[in-house]
A and B are shown apart, each in its own frame.
Chain A
């Protein structure tokens, strides 16, 4: 036992070509290895947990503040909204001929999806077919030449 303990303390490095390793050397490698791996990863657990909890606390606080702000702004607005509806309907988006209602609905849905989180409400003003600035061939050429960038 004494030998084993002393070799645990003394064996710092082993030569690669050393054969027939004794029990003390081998157990020192095993114990050092497992202990170091655990210490390293436990250190990571502690630090990741600390900043993880900091961030989730900050996120919660932000969410609560947002909710409160929403509540505060929602209450007085409700009667105004009802009045707004009639105002908004005449300003319906200008839609060019030849564009189906379904397409407009899809564009509207995409906008609603992308802007769902913000307090701002986006309005679709008009839908037009885009006129190509360049011919199909020259656009293809530009795409080909600028692709690597």
Chain B
């Protein structure tokens, strides 16, 4: 008889500790809703092809973190401990001792390791040739960062804290790693939004670039401006390509030191590629290292999307302001393109300005597509790649500025 009762007791204890009981517990319904939301993002990634390489890991991280009792990620471990008046720190000892798998991996995000390594891979894949051949493209890459700073105003109007304003604004840079880099550094446990929310908004809108940008581009340009056919770019020598990454690293790092990790690694990757003597390292940076980091980054950023950080009004505000940031960035780029069209004597097609929001190479492809709608033989792609890669440098600088101001 005692065997049966102890068996029943054990079964009852197991049931109480199971995840199912967690769903029934106080606030457990929120986890169910979050799991359903993760399914929506998985659907968007798999069936609709929305940035699947990132959205799928993010959505799976979202699923894992919302399973009650799995203890893969502990948001309370990441609370800042205040020391003195101004200093605060995270207790990494506690995380290493008691953290779950995703806590350990999330250290790479919080300690600013993953985004610069992703930039290393991006640098190893990027050809800065079009930008070197036409340095004025930098201007459009700078103008498109206007989206970041104007959105800062919008977020401030909603009464958000400085950290939240900066994190939402950086979505306008249309650069996932930069958004994660800035938001993970700015947001504290007192913030109402999490890094995961920012990443979700950034990657969703990056996938929607071909839908968001064309109407803005058409609205701001005339048919005549869109029909400008641009000639070929001058060939760029290997030495020029070798000097470029070194020069950019030195200038940007001296001017905005807080942008050095991102710009430095981006340019290091590019130098490896252009040197032509480090094939093995380039291959690793482009493929294996980048893929490993993408998995770690995606799944851990997904894990930060806890119910209380997503199911609130701020999430809607982030999504709303995010699309505003993207649109203003696109508009600023196109408007500067228009200015350059006038100044250059109608030689520059303003459509390439929209590529100044990073989102490489999607934004450049959009410029190409919209241009070809007017003149089917017009190849704007290489011209648009200039502002596009300038946008990556520009958003890294903008990130550095935000980090230098908000601290």
Instruction: List residues of A whose CB falls within 8 A of some B CB.
Output: 12-21, 25-27, 29-30, 32-34, 36-45, 47-49, 51-52, 55-56, 59
Contact = CB atoms under 8 A, between A and B. Distances in A.
Contacts of A40: 142, 251-252, 255-256, 397
Q: Which applies to chain B's interface (DSSP): helix, strand, loop or mixed?
A: helix
Interface string B353-366: 00000000000000
Nearest to B146: A34
A42 to B, nearest CB: 7
A49 B141 CA distance: 16
A48 to B, nearest CB: 4
**Interface SS of chain A: helix, strand, loop or mixed?**
helix
Contacts of B406: 13-16
Contacts of A59: 237
Interface string B243-270: 1100110011001100000000000000
A45 B165 CA distance: 30
B397 to A, nearest CB: 5
B405 A47 contact: no
A14 B384 CA distance: 36
14 contacts: A13-B407, A16-B407, A17-B163, A18-B161, A21-B165, A36-B397, A36-B401, A40-B142, A40-B255, A41-B390, A42-B139, A44-B247, A48-B138, A48-B247
A27 B149 CA distance: 9
Contact of A47 (B131, B136, B165, B251): B251
B240 interface: yes
Interface residues of B, number: 53
A30 B248 CA distance: 24
Nearest to A22: B156
Contacts of A49: 135
A41 B393 CA distance: 8
A19 B191 CA distance: 10
B165 A52 contact: no
Contacts of A42: 138-139, 142
A44 B237 contact: no
Contact of A48 (B132, B186, B252, B404): B132
B152 to A, nearest CB: 6
Contacts of A39: 255
B161 A48 contact: no
B190 interface: yes
